[in-house]
């Protein structure tokens, strides 16, 4: 039987490797860095073990929950604090987000909590949604275009954009409609975007849209690695792949070097060559997109602050605050981790844990200032116990090439729900294909 080589030990590569080995395949995983998990990682701030990347998963469709249950993690799944997130609006005022909304799209554009954010004029424009023909906007190229067509610019820019940017680090104009699964389908059935939101929220009541794992999402990586270990799947660290071909990969000569540079190294450097039966790529940037459009990566910078601030003990801004553009605050979002997750609160032992995200690297003092503005509580250097800054590169989606199977967020879209579901399905398809070939 041929060996399957999985390139990249992020969650996509780990899930794929596990599913393939459960089908009886021989699998080997190559990882460029010295650890598995990719954008799921753990760090310690003030001695508190925290997620430094992804910290929650979307519960829609139940796929991640079902997968965690299969891994024996059912009893570690936890719900966040059931309180609305807040929005730091364009006028600098911080208000709770409308209770019934989906990615900021309101179910009742004229509700007082919507008017407070967008103003009465934009809210009335939002009401037009109920009068427009049902299919208007259904073929929109982006979530932004859909909302603009149905509810107008005001609701899009003042409400939906800050929420989407806080979650996806992208403007809704750059996000496919599929990022809100089932939304267009529900809109066509309800003849209204607002009613579609109500319907989807009835299926997934407030507070149940995301969940986490006690001990953090890094617990998922621990569980997947334990499974691979149990089934004898080797994960080789410090092995950077420079090139992928349908039947072999070319390894980078120096695992710490930039792969782009190593491509150039082809002409001089001694590059080991590896021949294998089947290769699946679970790492970004290695395969040329089918449409030739270059892959884009964006950086996200996170600042984690551990502070002594008893005023924050009763979670004045729920799970956190999303930030509209054009205010004095440069952070895109703040998550009050010790309010959101009971396990963080317990580990923090009376201190508060905050996480702010930025598009370009911030100073800790700026993060303290932004946190003060967003939480309405003055936080000073003297209250700071510890801090950490982490930078992540996120790969945008590309058009899938035919030649080499690909998993991971550049093909499935970002977020653990999309990535895990796609990797799982890909493993099943590869298994079915292999069985078919073997029976010939």
Residue from 224, 286, 329, 334 touching ligand FAD (CB under 6 A): that is 286
> For residues 246-265, b (16+ Cβ closer than 10 Å) or e, as one string?
eeebbbbbebeeebeebeeb
Give the helix ranges, DSSP H, for 281-331: none
Minimum separation from the CB atom of position 418 to ligand FAD (A): 7
Of 5, 12, 97, 163, the residue at the interface with ligand FAD (CB under 6 A) is 12
Contact partners, residue 294, CB within 8 Å, separation at least 6 = none
Distance CA 27, CA 16 (A): 10
> What contacts 24+ positions apart, CB below 8 Å, involve 146-153?
146/177, 146/183, 146/184, 146/193, 147/105, 147/172, 147/193, 150/187, 150/192, 150/193, 151/105, 151/106, 151/109, 151/125, 151/126, 151/193, 151/194, 152/122, 152/125, 152/126, 152/128, 153/122, 153/125
Which residue in this structure is represented by tokens 């999985």?
6
Dist CA 166 CA 252 (whole Å): 36
Write the DSSP string, 219-278. HHHHHHHHHHHHTT--EEES--EEEE-SSEEEE-SSTTS-HHHHHHGGGTS---EEE-SE
Binders of ligand FAD in range 251-270 (CB under 6 A): 259
The residue within the footprint of ligand FAD, chosen from 21, 38, 60, 262 (CB under 6 A), is: 38
- Which of residues 32, 155, 179, 367 is near ligand FAD by CB under 6 A? 32
Give the other-Cβ count within 10 Å of 39's Cβ. 21
Q: How far from each other are the two terminal CA atoms of the chain, in whole angstroms?
A: 15
Q: Which stretch binds ligand FAD (CB under 6 A): 228-236, 282-290, 320-328, 342-350?
A: 282-290
55 is an interface residue for ligand FAD by CB under 6 A: yes
- The HSE-up count of residue 216 (CA atoms within 13 Å, CB side) is 24
Least distance in Å: CB of 261 to ligand FAD? 12
Applying CB under 6 A, does 9 fall inside the site for ligand FAD?
yes
User: Taking the CA atoms of the chain, what radius of gyration do you get in angstroms?
Assistant: 23
Closest distance of CB 57 from ligand FAD, Å: 5
**Stretch near ligand FAD under the rule CB under 6 A, chosen from 69-77, 198-206, 281-289, 313-321:** 281-289
Shortest distance, position 269 Cβ to ligand FAD, whole Å: 15
Q: How many chain residues are in contact with ligand FAD, going by CB under 6 A?
A: 37
Q: Least separation, in Å, of the C-beta of 194 and ligand FAD?
A: 26
Q: Quick one: 231 or 237, whose CB is closer to ligand FAD?
A: 237
The residue within the footprint of ligand FAD, chosen from 114, 241, 280, 354 (CB under 6 A), is 241
Stretch that binds ligand FAD, among 17-25, 32-40, 69-77, 117-125 (CB under 6 A): 32-40
User: Burial level of 429, CB count in 10 A (0-12/13-18/19+)?
Assistant: exposed
Report the residue number, 132 or 295, with the smaller CB distance to ligand FAD. 295
Pick the binder of ligand FAD from 409, 426, 430, 434 (CB under 6 A): 409
In the three-class reduction of DSSP (H, G, I as helix; E, B as strand; rest coil), residue 95 is classed as strand
Nearer Cβ to ligand FAD, position 42 or 240?
240
CA angle 163, 11, 81 (to 5 degrees): 40
Determine if 59 is a binding residue for ligand FAD (CB under 6 A).
no
333 scored as a contact of ligand FAD (CB under 6 A) = no
Binding of ligand FAD by 10 (CB under 6 A): yes
The answer to whether 96 contacts ligand FAD (rule: CB under 6 A) is no
* x-or-dash string of contact with ligand FAD, 414-433, rule CB under 6 A: xxxx-x--------------
Q: Give the integer Cα–Cα distance in Å for 371 and 329.
A: 9
From the list 88-96, 98-106, 146-154, 406-414, the region that binds ligand FAD by CB under 6 A is 406-414
Q: How far is the CB of 231 from ligand FAD (least distance, A)?
A: 19
Residue 392 makes contact with ligand FAD by CB under 6 A = yes
Q: Which of 5, 6, 11, 117 binds ligand FAD (CB under 6 A)?
A: 11
CB of 138 to ligand FAD, least distance (A): 26
Q: Where are the alpha helices (DSSP H) in 341-385?
A: 342-348, 364-375
Q: Judging by DSSP bridges, how do beta strands 3-7 and 26-31 pair with one another?
A: parallel
Smallest gap from Cβ 262 to ligand FAD, in A, equals 9
Nearer to ligand FAD, 352 or 409 (CB): 409
- DSSP 3-state assignment of 426? helix
Give residues in contact with ligand FAD (CB under 6 A).
7-13, 30-33, 38-40, 53-58, 240-241, 259, 282-283, 286, 300, 302, 392, 394, 408-409, 414-417, 419
């Amino acid at each position: 039987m041929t060996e399957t080589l999985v390139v990249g030990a992020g969650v996509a590569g780990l899930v794929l490797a596990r599913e393939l080995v459960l089908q009886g395949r021989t699998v080997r995983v190559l990882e460029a860095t010295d650890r598995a998990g990719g954008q799921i990682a753990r760090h310690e701030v003030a001695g508190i073990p925290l997620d430094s990347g992804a910290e929650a998963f979307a519960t829609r469709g139940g796929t991640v929950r079902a997968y965690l249950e299969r891994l024996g993690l059912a009893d570690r799944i936890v719900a966040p604090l059931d309180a609305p997130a807040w929005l730091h609006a364009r006028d600098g005022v911080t208000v709770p987000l409308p209770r019934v909304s989906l990615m900021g799209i309101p179910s009742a554009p004229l509700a007082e909590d919507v008017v407070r954010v967008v103003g009465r004029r934009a809210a009335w424009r939002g009401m037009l949604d109920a009068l427009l023909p049902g299919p208007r906007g259904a073929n929109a190229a982006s979530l932004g275009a859909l909302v603009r067509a149905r509810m107008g610019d005001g609701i899009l820019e003042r409400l939906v954009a800050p929420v989407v940017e806080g979650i996806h680090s992208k403007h809704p104009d750059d996000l496919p409609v599929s990022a809100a699964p089932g939304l267009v389908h529900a809109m066509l059935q309800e003849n209204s975007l607002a009613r579609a939101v109500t319907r989807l929220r009835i299926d997934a009541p407030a507070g149940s849209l995301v969940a986490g794992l006690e001990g953090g999402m890094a617990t998922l990586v621990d569980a997947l690695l334990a499974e691979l270990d149990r089934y004898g799947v080797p994960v080789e660290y410090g092995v950077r792949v420079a090139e992928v071909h349908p039947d072999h990969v070319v390894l980078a000569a120096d695992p710490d070097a930039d792969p782009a540079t190593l491509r150039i190294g082809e002409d001089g450097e001694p590059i080991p060559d590896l021949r294998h039966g089947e290769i699946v790529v679970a790492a970004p940037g290695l395969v040329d997109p089918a449409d030739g459009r270059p892959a884009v990566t964006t950086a996200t910078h996170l600042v984690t602050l551990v502070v002594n601030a008893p005023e924050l003990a009763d979670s004045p801004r729920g799970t956190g605050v999303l930030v509209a553009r054009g205010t004095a605050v440069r952070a895109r979002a703040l998550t009050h981790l010790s309010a959101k997750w009971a396990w963080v609160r317990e580990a923090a032992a009376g201190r508060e844990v905050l996480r702010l995200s930025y598009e370009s690297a911030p100073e800790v003092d700026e993060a303290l200032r932004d946190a003060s503005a967003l939480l309405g509580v003055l936080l000073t250097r003297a209250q700071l116990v510890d801090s950490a800054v982490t930078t992540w590169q996120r790969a945008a989606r590309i058009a899938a090439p035919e030649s080499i199977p690909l998993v991971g967020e550049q093909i499935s879209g970002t977020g653990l729900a999309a990535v895990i579901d796609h990797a799982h399905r890909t493993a099943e398809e590869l298994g079915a294909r292999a069985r078919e070939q073997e029976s010939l």
